A and B are shown apart, each in its own frame.
Chain A
């Protein structure tokens, strides 16, 4: 077991790679009641085209299957794992993103039992035709719920505008039609390919003794047989640099119109330090341009183009990256126009001062300290970072080292007229 100390933050992180390839991290948190653990596989909604374990050729699986599998893993021959967790005083949950599926629990008692339950249930799939069929009703209602949610429709709408081929454009839960043909055999095929320990990461954070927990995990893994796993082959079709659609307007049963501007990044394939630098630079850039302390924010707000729902975000993973800016607005076309022209302007001229950059860096450092109060944030973000070969605890030093040029370079690499798109939700009548 390796101990990694972060003196300034007064945190210690413990790490070990199990012999089957599983990465395990433990972060003890002083004074907390709660222990939070996530068991995550590097498998998300975009991984729909791959070579199944022990097979030769590529297969393409139905949209929404990673999420479907997440639901189904909770069910066992002798009942539902939720039940077992709650008998042990824990609450359990799971989520599927574009690139990951995470299973988690949090509890203030019986930590070791709950941890055992978490590892074992994820490593012991049980699917039957009957339970697979039943799940289609529940997930169907989940999908319908999102169909009525204008913010979700807007968000996926703008991503669909950006991508022509990349599966990031597929709604994570799929559609009622796409999940209909899912069978238990397909679930096993996905499971066997992506749930090997060497493709997974276990993170435990909270009121724990790292030695004891690491021992427990080690002996749990030693009891199970895993064959060595070849590297997983995933396929992504070529994606043009330009967006697929420039604009989409959805008519929904809403009162306030909504508008989201999307900017598709040129296919990013950085990992590690380079990716961290790019991501943080982009976040700092967006804060300087659109943050509440910026003059542009004030302008947009005073002109009645935005309200407190205004938000901006930059997402990047290996293979895709995009920026979204927008919110509720009475004038969706004008807002779209303003946001795009501001971004283009920021690309061409330097709109910011060194002083502003230093202030924004301070802001980001404070936000990071706030975030690491949260065990959930630490576990989920650490995992995401690790899957991209980045280190969460490098955020503060990297922020401190950012220069004006980094910001301007990233902005000019990503911003380009042909990569803009707009999605709007407007009232029906």
Chain B
């Protein structure tokens, strides 16, 4: 197994993480910008990275900016929005060829860092506002993005479950923001928000590849000038458990029903029993050998997919499946039975070992891609923990049946969401 050599350097205004590895033909720069999910800012934040990636002062049009990237051997540049528990995370990534695999050797790493710094620190502004045309164009696209969730029924059902389950909590907010609030954003208000981000967000920059640590540090010191800040933290107090579970059925003109069930696990990343919860999830619905796959799909032939996943930083467990409308009761019954079986300890040592092996495998595979590696490392930056890979693997290995049963017994069904057809 390869160890991860993560060098972590606290810099002014951000943390620099460097992982030197000769696995890749490219170098990756991934900047994570984190702030609390918040009703007030969620729509601005949904828009900001799209405006920032369209142009800069140096490259005032998308055509110029993208041509420059092509020139740099098609450096791949994209921004992305995600949720980590109650936080709203913007990622900006640049993946650029390592010049040692090219005939002519331009200093591509340096140019990549320069480019990212340019996007970040040198936005396309005039008179203290972003370029108006760009903002208007991107506002239009933001509305489309928000609305697009509706067209992908799997994503839609998942997002509706979260909405219903977490009403009133930060986590219910959508990463792309609220459609009705897009129009009120102006080039000026967005620029003001940009300044807040530059002064308040928690910034973590990851540099992964066959790089020289000192050189990267040096380049970053030269190119990134940020202000010191104390990022805002969310007080993630437990929400009240609902009296009884909430069932929401929605009718639409669809052919397949989407059954999504949400649970509170009362366990989060960083908690002692977090690893037991991971193993629990693996046996319950995380993999193709798990109880949901076998009982919903293989035995009852009810679905093509039936799986569960964890929202580690929020302490949620989500089950999803696509079924025929009239199989609702049967499917819910089978899923409930599987959870009960987990709580009763009705699973074998073989299942535990199998699950541990697959989790271990999955984790090692994840860190084979630079993007996956950053996701694994970033868990710690979000939770302010220092759990290294070895600790992760050891803790999974040590997990006993008793631990798993204990974790299972903390899991409580909160909300069932069912998207069903018109005739049902």
Give A residues with C-beta under 8 Å from B.
8-10, 29-34, 80, 82-83, 86-92, 106-109, 134-135, 137-139, 141-142, 144-145, 147-151, 253-256, 291-295, 297-298, 301-302, 304, 307-309, 328, 359-360, 362-367, 369-370, 372-375, 428
Option from B23, B66, B96 in Cβ contact (under 8 Å) with A373: B23
Whether the pair A86, B72 counts as a contact (CB closer than 8 A) is no
Q: Which 5 A-B pairs have the closest CB atoms?
A: A363-B74, A366-B73, A137-B301, A89-B357, A366-B74
Option from A32, A83, A108 in Cβ contact (under 8 Å) with B289: A83
Whether the pair A293, B67 counts as a contact (CB closer than 8 A) is yes
B140 interface contact, C-beta 8 A: yes
Pull 17 A–B residue pairs with CB atoms less than 8 Å apart, ordered by A.
Answer: A10-B101, A33-B365, A108-B360, A108-B364, A138-B298, A141-B322, A150-B152, A151-B152, A255-B147, A298-B61, A328-B148, A360-B70, A369-B25, A369-B97, A369-B102, A372-B25, A373-B369
Option from B101, B141, B150, B297 in Cβ contact (under 8 Å) with A138: B297
Shortest CB-to-CB span from B216 to chain A, Å, is: 19
Given contacts A83-B289, A293-B67, contact A148 B361 (CB under 8 A): no
Interface of B is mostly: mixed
Chain B interface extent, by class: 35 or more
* Complex CA–CA separation, A89 to B361 (angstroms): 6
B131 interface contact, C-beta 8 A: no
Shortest CB-to-CB span from B34 to chain A, Å, is: 23
* Complex CA–CA separation, A255 to B153 (angstroms): 12
Q: Given A362-B70, A362-B71, list of 4 further CB < 8 A pairs?
A: A106-B361, A108-B361, A108-B364, A373-B369
Whether the pair B2, A33 counts as a contact (CB closer than 8 A) is yes
Please provide the chain B residues from 237 to 296 with a CB less than 8 Å away from any CB of chain A in the complex. Answer: 252-256, 287-289
Whether the pair A370, B76 counts as a contact (CB closer than 8 A) is yes
Given contacts A31-B21, A293-B67, A362-B73, contact A139 B287 (CB under 8 A): no
* Complex CA–CA separation, A298 to B62 (angstroms): 7
Whether the pair A30, B322 counts as a contact (CB closer than 8 A) is no
Whether the pair B137, A302 counts as a contact (CB closer than 8 A) is yes
**Set of chain B residues within 8 Å of A363, measured between Cβ atoms:** 69-70, 73-74
**Set of chain B residues within 8 Å of A298, measured between Cβ atoms:** 61-63
Shortest CB-to-CB span from A358 to chain B, Å, is: 9
* Complex CA–CA separation, A255 to B150 (angstroms): 7
Whether the pair A147, B256 counts as a contact (CB closer than 8 A) is yes
Given contacts A87-B354, A144-B322, A367-B74, contact A33 B1 (CB under 8 A): yes
**Set of chain A residues within 8 Å of B96, measured between Cβ atoms:** 366
* Complex CA–CA separation, A148 to B70 (angstroms): 37
B10 interface contact, C-beta 8 A: no
B151 interface contact, C-beta 8 A: yes
| A33, A106, A134, A365 interface centre (most CB from chain B within 10 Å) | A33
**Set of chain A residues within 8 Å of B301, measured between Cβ atoms:** 134-135, 137-138
Given contacts A86-B289, A363-B70, A373-B24, contact A91 B361 (CB under 8 A): yes
Given contacts A255-B151, A302-B137, contact A369 B287 (CB under 8 A): no
Whether the pair B302, A137 counts as a contact (CB closer than 8 A) is yes
Whether the pair A90, B144 counts as a contact (CB closer than 8 A) is no
Whether the pair B304, A145 counts as a contact (CB closer than 8 A) is yes
Option from A80, A86, A141 in Cβ contact (under 8 Å) with B302: A141
**Set of chain B residues within 8 Å of A362, measured between Cβ atoms:** 70-71, 73-74
> How many pairs of residues, A versus B, come closer than 8 Å at their CB atoms?
194
* Complex CA–CA separation, A33 to B367 (angstroms): 8
**Set of chain A residues within 8 Å of B61, measured between Cβ atoms:** 298
Whether the pair A86, B288 counts as a contact (CB closer than 8 A) is yes
Option from A88, A139, A307 in Cβ contact (under 8 Å) with B304: A139
**Set of chain A residues within 8 Å of B66, measured between Cβ atoms:** 291-293
Option from B22, B71, B98, B322 in Cβ contact (under 8 Å) with A145: B322
Shortest CB-to-CB span from B304 to chain A, Å, is: 4
Shortest CB-to-CB span from A44 to chain B, Å, is: 20
Option from B1, B322, B323 in Cβ contact (under 8 Å) with A108: B1
Shortest CB-to-CB span from B80 to chain A, Å, is: 12
* Complex CA–CA separation, A92 to B362 (angstroms): 12
Whether the pair A147, B25 counts as a contact (CB closer than 8 A) is no
* Nearest chain B residue, comparing its CB with the CB of A304: B140
B211 interface contact, C-beta 8 A: no
B95 interface contact, C-beta 8 A: yes
**Set of chain B residues within 8 Å of A137, measured between Cβ atoms:** 301-302
**Set of chain B residues within 8 Å of A88, measured between Cβ atoms:** 357
Whether the pair A34, B144 counts as a contact (CB closer than 8 A) is no
Whether the pair B74, A30 counts as a contact (CB closer than 8 A) is no
Shortest CB-to-CB span from B357 to chain A, Å, is: 4
Whether the pair B144, A328 counts as a contact (CB closer than 8 A) is yes
Given contacts A144-B322, A307-B141, contact A86 B357 (CB under 8 A): yes
* Complex CA–CA separation, A365 to B106 (angstroms): 14
**Set of chain B residues within 8 Å of A375, measured between Cβ atoms:** 368
B376 interface contact, C-beta 8 A: no
**Set of chain A residues within 8 Å of B144, measured between Cβ atoms:** 256, 307, 328
**Set of chain B residues within 8 Å of A33, measured between Cβ atoms:** 1-2, 364-365, 367-368
B223 interface contact, C-beta 8 A: no
Whether the pair A148, B256 counts as a contact (CB closer than 8 A) is yes
Whether the pair B358, A89 counts as a contact (CB closer than 8 A) is yes
B198 interface contact, C-beta 8 A: no
* Nearest chain B residue, comparing its CB with the CB of A303: B137
**Set of chain A residues within 8 Å of B304, measured between Cβ atoms:** 138-139, 141-142, 145
**Set of chain B residues within 8 Å of A292, measured between Cβ atoms:** 62, 66
B6 interface contact, C-beta 8 A: no
Whether the pair B255, A148 counts as a contact (CB closer than 8 A) is yes
Option from B23, B25, B152, B297 in Cβ contact (under 8 Å) with A370: B25
* Nearest chain A residue, comparing its CB with the CB of B359: A89
**Set of chain B residues within 8 Å of A360, measured between Cβ atoms:** 70
**Set of chain A residues within 8 Å of B2, measured between Cβ atoms:** 31, 33
Shortest CB-to-CB span from A107 to chain B, Å, is: 6
B56 interface contact, C-beta 8 A: no
**Set of chain B residues within 8 Å of A374, measured between Cβ atoms:** 369
**Set of chain A residues within 8 Å of B152, measured between Cβ atoms:** 149-151
Whether the pair A8, B23 counts as a contact (CB closer than 8 A) is no
* Complex CA–CA separation, A185 to B101 (angstroms): 52
Given contacts A33-B368, A149-B152, contact A86 B287 (CB under 8 A): yes
* Complex CA–CA separation, A147 to B254 (angstroms): 9
Whether the pair B25, A9 counts as a contact (CB closer than 8 A) is yes
**Set of chain A residues within 8 Å of B287, measured between Cβ atoms:** 86, 91
Whether the pair A256, B151 counts as a contact (CB closer than 8 A) is yes
Whether the pair B62, A301 counts as a contact (CB closer than 8 A) is yes
**Set of chain A residues within 8 Å of B145, measured between Cβ atoms:** 307-308
Whether the pair B62, A138 counts as a contact (CB closer than 8 A) is no
Whether the pair B357, A253 counts as a contact (CB closer than 8 A) is no
Shortest CB-to-CB span from A359 to chain B, Å, is: 5
**Set of chain A residues within 8 Å of B70, measured between Cβ atoms:** 291, 293, 359-360, 362-363
**Set of chain B residues within 8 Å of A106, measured between Cβ atoms:** 361, 365
Whether the pair A369, B98 counts as a contact (CB closer than 8 A) is yes
B420 interface contact, C-beta 8 A: no
B407 interface contact, C-beta 8 A: no
| A86, A144, A366, A375 interface centre (most CB from chain B within 10 Å) | A366
* Complex CA–CA separation, A9 to B353 (angstroms): 39
**Set of chain A residues within 8 Å of B360, measured between Cβ atoms:** 89, 108-109
B405 interface contact, C-beta 8 A: no
* Complex CA–CA separation, A372 to B95 (angstroms): 13
Whether the pair A254, B73 counts as a contact (CB closer than 8 A) is no
**Set of chain A residues within 8 Å of B72, measured between Cβ atoms:** 366
* Complex CA–CA separation, A355 to B293 (angstroms): 54
| A83, A302, A360, A369 interface centre (most CB from chain B within 10 Å) | A369
